[in-house]
Structure 1
């Protein structure tokens, strides 16, 4: 369901619907209508709320929550600097295309240039150039429904629910391994939980599986060499 952060897209839809009925309104008028619908005094008031919520959402995915337990339990692992850059790159891929959301496809495309993640994928036999091309084609041609045609602004994309789930799992995975930092390798292992996503299907198409990734990251066993495991 859409919420107030999707107001610009909603205004665009309202304007198009009214035009279909022979009622022409300007873009500014449609924005003001949506602002009133949300109970805001005007569009500027609602826009300020939108920017605040967007910034908060992007910060949440870029930085994991850290809990302090008075020394009883270790602190949650932090995101490695490289992974933070990877996440910002994924958000940038969606921003430049004026996408409302950063999806797992944006994330996997960014991971293809993450040293830790790409090392795991290469060890699993993934052709990174082919993966990048396939993901770019999908993002450019199949995600047009999430493009904000009017009123889009840099920094407006938000991580999708699946994107956020994967990052939460990656943090938990690193913690389970006793690591102090979450890296792209952790993300590659847990992204397979979203097995129906187009991103994961592209890994499957290159014969990479969740077991392959886990063997390398968790057990140091190369793909095709499981017989040597103790």
Structure 2
């Protein structure tokens, strides 16, 4: 990383790559994504860091190589399925529709209830999808008022939280471990349980679904007893 312009080029390349895979994000979201990748709080901080105004809180090991991003590839990692890409678009749309600054794991789980692979796994684990949708919608509408940005005049401004991004990274790794060529919604469902403090996970536990239940079905095809 030599200058500010290279960071912007990386953001542009990341945005183009996601667009090619059906996940459209705004320019500001791509900039924030690069900042997240470098372990920096936001784009303004990263830009200041590059200009030598502040010290960057990241390590060399955490830095993605410009070559890998410019090439638009994620080596040895499976790609998102078309169904999962639509699910991620729905999650972002849930945030945008409510003028939320961030798209959280709760928005993601709500979108997963309509994902063919994730909803199949939830059904196999005894989840009442209608009840879960209502519970998540109520939480998103009533308990996330602090992230509403009333001054927003255009859509596309809601950006994934760090937890959301961690879930997606784990989902890629999980699909790879299973030998899959694509990441699907059920991979996301299995790994979302790692965010133990997330209200989304508490909602799943409230439906008597556990990480073990999810893994048993997705990895071994075992239905939860009594379903």
If the length of structure 1 is used for normalisation, what is the TM-score? Answer: 0.68
The 5 Å alignment of 1:33-72 reads: 52-56=27-31, 66-68=73-75
Q: Which runs of 5+ in 2 are unaligned?
A: 1-25, 35-68
Deviation (angstroms), 1:53: 2.7
For residues 46-90 of structure 1, the C-alpha deviation after alignment (integer angstroms, 9 at most, x for no partner) is xxxxx523145579xxxx97334xxxxxx3100000000000000
Does the Cα contact within 8 Å between 2:117 and 2:185 map onto a contact in 1? yes
d(CA) in 2 for partners of 1:79, 1:58: 18
d(CA) in 1 for partners of 2:152, 2:123: 40
Does the Cα contact within 8 Å between 2:99 and 2:152 map onto a contact in 1? no
> Which residue matches 1:127?
128
The 5 Å alignment of 1:147-166 reads: 147-166=148-167
Shift in CA distance, 145/222, structure 1 to aligned 2, threshold 3 Å: same
Does the Cα contact within 8 Å between 1:98 and 1:152 map onto a contact in 2? no
Match of 2:100, SS state, is: coil
- Tell me which stretches of 4 or more aligned residues in structure 1 moved more than 3 Å: 55-59, 64-68
Shift in CA distance, 177/57, structure 1 to aligned 2, threshold 3 Å: farther
Return the index of the structure with the highest Cα Rg: 1
> Which residue matches 1:115?
116
- Count of matched residue pairs: 167
Q: Which runs of 5+ in 1 are unaligned?
A: 1-50, 69-74, 226-230
d(CA) in 2 for partners of 1:103, 1:66: 25
> Which residue matches 1:105?
106
Q: CA RMSD in A?
A: 2.3
d(CA) in 1 for partners of 2:130, 2:73: 36
